[in-house]
Structure 1
Amino acid sequence: MQQTITVGLVAYGMSGQVFHAPFLHTLPGFQLKTVVERHAEKSKERYPYVNVVRSLDELLADDSIELVVVTTPNHLHYADTKKALEAGKHVVVEKPFVENTTQAEELIALAKRQNRHLIVYQNRRWDSDFQTVKKVLAQGMLGDLVHFESHYDRYVNYIRPGNTWKEDTQGATGVLYDLGAHLIDQALQLFGAPKAVTGDLRVEREGSRIIDNFHLTLHYDRPRVLIQSNMLVRELGPRFILHGVNGSFLKWGLDPQEAALKAGRWPNEAGWGTEPENLWGKLNTQWGDLHTIGRIETVPGDYNQFYHGVYAALTEDAPVPVKPEEALLTQKVIEAAIRSAEEGRQVAP
C-alpha cells in the first residue's frame, strides 16, 4: 500500500493556488489536509475537504502533518521555514529561498540538526524550453558552446495594485529575486558555479522602488553566459539563444504550464506541458557532413516531477529534487550581482 504524506500549505496566494495545491491534490501519495488563510477560506472553493486555519502555529500543532509548504511573501520565508523545521516538519519553501546567505546557511544547518528535508521550489528546472535546451546540449548538436543567453521578460509598465509586498523594497523583491532566481538556477544547473558575476541592475518604471531590469554576466572560461529580465519589454525576443562552434539554437515562447494552471486545468491531464508547433525552437547547425536548418520539437514540461522527487525523498530516502545548498549558491550569485552593480566590478559569489 502506498504511503501517504500529509501536507499543510502555508498561504493561498497565487503561488499556493497555482503551483502547489493542484499537484498536492492530483498526485497519489499526498494528502492536502490544512491551508493557512489569514482572513478568507478561498481554498475550500476548489478543495472543500481541507481544513482552513488562521496561523502557522495552528497548522504546526497538528502532529499528523509531515510536510509544510511555505508560499508566504518572500520576507517571511526564513521565519516560517525555521518555525516549521523546529516543529519537526519537512519543508518545501518557495523561491527565492530567503533574503540572504546567512539565513540560508542557518536553515540548512537547522534542517540537518532536525533530520528533516528542506527543499526549495525551483520548478522551472522542469520547464519545457529548459528541458529542450538541456537535450540540445547533451546531444552535442551545437558543438562546443560559446554563448548562452537566457531572457525572461515581461511588459508591466505600471505599479501593480494588490501586490503591495511585491512592489516594496522590504525583503527579496524585484525581478532579480523573482525571475532571476529561476534563470540563475537554470544556468547553475548547466554550467555550475561561475568564477564571478557582473551585474547591471536598474529601476526603470515610473514610481517603482524595486529592481525591474537586470542584466547579469556569469563568468566562466566558456561559454559566455548572459541572463536578463526586464519588465518593459512589449515585443518579446527569444527566451533562449545558444551559439556553438557548429551552430545555433533559438527558442521563443514560455513554458505553457503556468498559463494552464492559472486557467484551472489539472496537471494530470493528457498532453500536459506540451507546446504548440509554432513555438518549437529553431536549430541551424552542422551535423556530420550535413548543414541542417529546422525546428526542434519542444520536450514537454512537467512540474509534477518536482513533487515526485519530494515524495521519493520522504518515503524512499532518495535525493531531494532541489538541494538547499543549490539554492544557497543561487542566493550567493544574487548577492554578488547586487555588490557588482553597487561597486562597478566583477564579484565572486
Structure 2
Amino acid sequence: MQLVKVGLCAFGMSGKVFHAPFLKQHPGFFLTAIVERSKEESKIDYPDATIYRSVEEMLKNADLEVVVVNTPVQTHHEYVKMALEAGKNVIVEKPFTVTVSEAQELVNLAESKNLFLSVYQNRRFDRDYLQVQKILAEGKLGNIKEVEIRFDRFRTEPSAKEHKENPELSGSGSVHDLGSHLVDQATQFFGYPEKLFADVFSMKGENFANDYFEIILYYKDKLRVRLKSSVFTKEDHYAYKIHGSNGSFLQERTDDQENELVAGAIPTYGENWMKPLKEADGILNYFNENSVTERILTSSEPGNYMNYYQQIYEHIVFGYALPSLGNEVVQNMKIIEAALESSDKGKIIDLN
C-alpha cells in the first residue's frame, strides 16, 4: 500500500480527537510530523512523529505530502498559503478561513500549483446526517417544502478559547463554528439558496462572540430551510425536521463519535467502529404507494470519520473525487458572510 506522509499543525483538541487517531489507524498514512509549540504530549501515542515547534519549521524540514491545518481559524489563511507555497497538499479545518476573499485566494493558489485543498467537513460522516441523506434520496416525502436543521448545546459559560469567544476577532462565534456545519449540510441536501435572512447575536452578552443564530434560506419552488443554534438549550430538539408534500421525517442528533474519541476510543480501519443504536432515533410519517399512512420508527446506521480520510487516500492514490473541496466550501462561506450582513442590516440578502 502506498504510504502518504502527513504533518499536523497543532496537537490540541482537534488534533488529538479528529485527526491523529485516524491517521495512525489508516494503513495508508504515516503521521510523520506534529507541531507542539512547547509540550511533547504527542510522544505518548505517536512516538514515530517528529515534534516541531512551529509550522514554519515543520514545512522547512519535514518530508510531507499532506499538511493538516487545524489551528485557530484566524490563522488558516496564513498557514494554508504557507503550506501550498511549500508544495504541500492541504486539509484545513472548517470553516476554511475568516473571509470569502481569503478562501478564494487559497483555492486559486492551490489550482495554480496543481495541489489539492480539502476542508475537513467531518459532520458529513455523522450517522444522523447520513440518515437524512438516505431518506431524502428515497423520495418518500415527495416535494420538500420546509426544513429545520439545528445544532444546539448547553454551554452558558464562555470557553477559554479566545479565538472562539472574542467578538473583536473576525471568525469567532457560532456562525463560523457550528454554522459552517449546518450551512454545509443545507447546501449538500438542497444546493445553493437564492436569498437568506438571519438573526445573529450573543445570548451571553455583548462582550462575547455570537452564540445564537437563526438563518432562513430561501430556495426556488418556495422551499424554506431554517438553520438554528443556541448555547442555552438544556433539552434536546430534533436536529432535523423535514416536511414534504407526502409526509415528514424527524431525526435526532445521535452521532457519538466525538464523545467516544474524547473518552479515548480508538477508531478502526475497514469497519464501523461505532456500535449500532439500541433504540430508534427517527420518525418517518408518510403516505405509501397505496395512499395509506405509514408511521415508522427508524434507526440510523453508524457514521465513520475514517471515511473522510479514506476518500482523501483514494484521491491521492487513485484520483477519485476529493471530499469537500475548497471551491465548494467557498460557496458556504458566502452564505456565512451574507448571514452576518443580514443580521447587521436587518434585511433579506440576495445571494445571486
In the superposition, the TM-score normalised over structure 1's length comes to 0.96
Instruction: Tell me which amino acid in the other structure corresponds to 1:221.
Output: K
> Any conservation in 2 of the 1:74–1:171 contact (CA below 8 Å)?
no
Instruction: Tell me which amino acid in the other structure corresponds to 1:252.
Output: E
Instruction: Tell me which amino acid in the other structure corresponds to 2:78.
Output: A
Using a 3 Å threshold, how does the CA distance of structure 1 residues 50 and 63 change in structure 2: closer, same or farther?
closer
1:284 is matched with 285
Offset, 1:171:
2.8
Instruction: Tell me which amino acid in the other structure corresponds to 1:327.
Output: V
Instruction: Tell me which amino acid in the other structure corresponds to 1:315.
Output: V
1:184-203 alignment, distance < 5 Å? 184-203=183-202
Offset, 1:73:
0.5
Offset, 1:282:
0.9
> Any conservation in 1 of the 2:254–2:281 contact (CA below 8 Å)?
no
2:157 is matched with 158
> Any conservation in 1 of the 2:272–2:303 contact (CA below 8 Å)?
no
SS at the partner of 2:31? strand
The 2-side partners of 1:35 and 1:46 are apart by 12
SS at the partner of 1:277? coil
2:166 is matched with 168
> Any conservation in 1 of the 2:74–2:98 contact (CA below 8 Å)?
yes
1:141-190 residue CA offsets vs partner (Å, 9 max, x unmatched): 21111111100000111112x32222113131111000000010011011
1:8 is matched with 7
Offset, 1:254:
3.1
The 2-side partners of 1:14 and 1:207 are apart by 27
The 2-side partners of 1:273 and 1:187 are apart by 25
Offset, 1:274:
4.0
2:338 is matched with 336
Q: Could you tell me the percent identity over the aligned residues?
A: 38
The 2-side partners of 1:189 and 1:273 are apart by 24
User: More displaced, 287-296 or 127-136?
Assistant: 287-296
1:319-346 residue CA offsets vs partner (Å, 9 max, x unmatched): 2111111110111000010111111111
User: Does 1:139 pair with 2:138?
Assistant: yes
1:240 is matched with 240
Offset, 1:63:
5.2
Runs of 4+, deviation exceeding 6 Å? none
User: Does 1:90 pair with 2:57?
Assistant: no
> Any conservation in 2 of the 1:274–1:298 contact (CA below 8 Å)?
no
SS at the partner of 1:8? strand
In the superposition, the TM-score normalised over structure 2's length comes to 0.95
The 2-side partners of 1:194 and 1:343 are apart by 19
> Any conservation in 2 of the 1:274–1:301 contact (CA below 8 Å)?
no
The 1-side partners of 2:101 and 2:248 are apart by 40
> Any conservation in 2 of the 1:310–1:321 contact (CA below 8 Å)?
yes
Instruction: Tell me which amino acid in the other structure corresponds to 1:347.
Output: I
> Any conservation in 2 of the 1:255–1:275 contact (CA below 8 Å)?
no
Offset, 1:16:
0.8
Instruction: Tell me which amino acid in the other structure corresponds to 2:286.
Output: T
The 2-side partners of 1:180 and 1:335 are apart by 11
> Any conservation in 1 of the 2:33–2:62 contact (CA below 8 Å)?
no
Offset, 1:115:
1.1
User: Does 1:231 pair with 2:231?
Assistant: yes
Using a 3 Å threshold, how does the CA distance of structure 1 residues 208 and 301 change in structure 2: closer, same or farther?
farther
> Any conservation in 2 of the 1:23–1:304 contact (CA below 8 Å)?
yes
The 1-side partners of 2:19 and 2:126 are apart by 15
Give structure 1 stretches of 5+ with no counterpart.
none
Instruction: Tell me which amino acid in the other structure corresponds to 1:262.
Output: V
> Any conservation in 2 of the 1:9–1:36 contact (CA below 8 Å)?
yes
The 1-side partners of 2:272 and 2:140 are apart by 26
Q: CA RMSD in A?
A: 1.4
